[in-house]
Amino acid sequence: MLLLASVAWPGCLAALLIGLGTGFWAGPPAGRLPRVAAALVALLALACLATALAGLVPGREGFWVESAAAMLTVYLAGCAAGGLSRSTRRARP
């Protein structure tokens, strides 16, 4: 995991910044369909993370799965933080 962190931190940082921008621009999900879509993407991130933690994919492809799981999780966290910052910014008088 230390190897993954030392190699993939630029991608994770980029995913966080892109997620923050996307979350701030789009805001939190407003309707039922966007909430279902957001839940499906979060479920995909959990499935990717579970596959990476279980070590089901060996070798180079496993490293890709682990990198994708880390970057997708960081991206979703950035989207959530950006959406929350937009909703709290709107709430101020």
42-63 pLDDT tens trace? 898 888 888 888 888 888 888 8
pLDDT of residue 89: 65
Instruction: Spell out the residues 6+ positions from residue 28 whose beta carbon is closer than 8 angstroms to its own.
Output: 83, 84, 86, 87
pLDDT of residue 91: 55
What is the per-residue burial (b if ≥16 Cβ within 10 Å, else e) of 9-42?
Answer: eeebeebbebbbeebbeebeeeeeeeeeebeeee
With a cut of 50, list the residues of the chain below it in pLDDT.
none
Amino acid of residue 7: V
What secondary structure does DSSP assign to 18-30, as a single string?
Answer: HHHHHHHHH-S--
pTM of the model: 0.79
pLDDT of residue 56: 87
Length of the chain: 93
